[in-house]
Amino acid sequence: MGPPQVDLLAPQPTYVAVGKFALGMLKDITKNLVEKDPELLARIKESEPWLFDAVTSARDSKTMPHTGGGQIETLAVEEQAVTTHKQRSNSHLSVEKQLAVWKQSSATLKRYACYGKHLAAIDIGFHRASEKIPRSGRQQVFMSSYKKVAIAGATGNLGPSLVNALLDAGFEVTVLTRVGGSKPPSLPQGVSKVIPIDYTSVSSLTSALQGQDVFVSNIPNHGDQKPLIDAAIAADVKRFLPSEFGMDVMRDVKTAALPAFKDGKKVIQEYLKEKGDKITWTCVVTGLFLDWCLDVGFSVDLKGTTRVIDDGNKKASTTLLSDIGKAVVGVLQHPEETKNRAVYVQSASLSQNDLLEIAKKVKPGFSPKIQQTSTAQFEYDAYAKLKKGEDVDNAMMDFVFESVFGEGFASDWSGETDNALLGIKELSEPELEEVVKRYVP
C-alpha cells in the first residue's frame, strides 16, 4: 500500500515522479473520504487552504510548488507508476485506514518531492481531519517511530494537557510520580500505568523507563534533571524532552543569564548537548502559557492590578496549554526534523496592551487597573528580593516576567516558528477574544 520506495541517490526527476505519485494518492483518498464524510473536505479547506488546493488540483498540473514559493517542472512520470496508482483504489478501506495511507503518502512527499515549507500544511490537515476519530483509532493515523512515552510531571498547570494530547495521538503513556509524594489526582482514562519513583535515583528511574521510547520531563525544578537524562540513556530511551516549556533560553543570551534560568534550564541544555551522542533531545519553547497566565493574572491581572513594563507595547510569543500538548505530539511525529534542537511555537504574539484592549473590547465598561514600571526598575526590585533571601520564588517569577515583556529580551519568535511542522494553528482574532473573555470579571 502506498507509494513505491525509491533509491535516495536517484536523479531529481525520480524524486519528482514519486512526489507526484504520492500527491495523486492524496487526491484519490480525499475523494473517497468526502463520499463517506461530506463535512471532511470543508474542514480541511477551512483549516489548511493549501492542502485543499493540493489534493484537489495539483496532481494533474504541470508544475509543483517548490521551497520559497517557486516552481519546478515535473518531468515524465513513469507509466508503470501511474498504472499501479490507478489499480490501487482505496475506496474499500475505512476512514481511519485511508487517513493512515494519506499520512504515508504525505511522508513520501517529504522524503522525495520538492514541497519545502508547504509540506507541513499536509500534516496540519491530518490533525484537523482526524478530530472525530476516537482515541483508540488515532494511532493508525499518526504513524510514528515512537510508541511508548513516559512523563514526569503529569499534573499541575501543564501536565494534563501533555498527557491528553499524547493519548489523543495514540501514544501509550506511563506516568512517573514521586515516591512519598501526595497522591496524584485522577489521571485521564487511557494512561497505561503509574510508577512511583525516586527522582534522585538513576537506578529507580532506569527501572521505570525500561521499554520506553520517549521521556518527557515536566518537573518544576529544572536543575534536577540530570538523573532523569542519565536514566533515560541507561534505559535506551530514544528521545528526551526536558522541562523547557517557556522562554527562549537556548538562543537569547540575556534571558539565559537571568537567575531564573542560568542554573536550571541553561545547565540542562548544555548537559543534553554533551550527551547528544547517547540520546536525542528536543526543547519545546512556548513563551508564556496564554490561558494559564490570564487565569492567575501573570501577563495581565484582569481581576487586580497589572504591572505594565515600559510602554506596554512589547510583543511576546504566548501559547495555549492545549497547543503545547499538540507541539509535543508534533515533535514525536517528526523525530528527524526536531532532533537535537529547540522548536518554537506560539498561539499568538501579544503585548500587555493588546491583552488589555481585547479585555475592554469583549466586556464594554471594563476598566483595568495599571501600575507603571520600567525594565530597569523591575530588574532592580527582583534582585533586591533575591539578595534579601526573602520571597525568592516571587523574585524568580519576576525574572521570568522581565524576560517576557522587558526591553532587550528576545521573547517574540513570530515569523520563525515551527507551528506548521508541529500542527499548531495561530489563533484568529475572534478565537483570541473568546480566550480572553473567559477571564474578564
**Each residue's pLDDT tens digit, 116-164:** 333 444 444 444 444 434 444 444 334 457 999 999 999 889 999 999 9
DSSP H or E run through 59: none
Q: What pLDDT shows up at residue 29?
A: 61
Burial of 207 (0-12, 13-18, 19+ CB in 10 A): middle
The overall average pLDDT reported for the chain is: 77
Q: pLDDT, tens digit, for every residue of 194-253? A: 999 999 999 999 999 999 999 999 998 898 999 999 999 999 999 999 999 999 999 999
- Between CA 323 and CA 72 the distance in angstroms is 35
Q: Which DSSP symbol is given to 119?
A: H
CATH 3.40.50.720-classified regions of the chain: 140-289+320-342
- Between CA 407 and CA 422 the distance in angstroms is 29
* pLDDT at residue 58 is higher than 60: no
Pairing of strands 63-65, 71-73: antiparallel
- Rounded (10°) CA dihedral 369, 373, 378, 384: -90
147: nearest Cα among 211, 206, 190, 203: 211
Among the residues of 37-70, which ranges form H helices?
40-47, 49-57
This prediction's pTM: 0.70
242: nearest Cα among 313, 341, 145, 166: 341
- Between CA 241 and CA 337 the distance in angstroms is 14
CATH 3.50.30.10 fits domain 140-289+320-342: no
Q: What pLDDT shows up at residue 192?
A: 87
Q: pLDDT, tens digit, for every residue of 291-331? A: 999 999 999 999 999 999 999 999 999 999 999 999 999 99
Q: What pLDDT shows up at residue 21?
A: 56
- Between CA 416 and CA 418 the distance in angstroms is 7
User: If you compute the radius of gyration of the chain from its CA atoms, what whole number of angstroms results?
Assistant: 24
- Between CA 56 and CA 335 the distance in angstroms is 29
Q: Which of 7-16, 34-43, 76-85 has the highest mean pLDDT?
A: 34-43
Angle at 45 between CA 77 and CA 286, to 5 degrees: 100
**Between 201 and 4, where is the model more confident?**
201
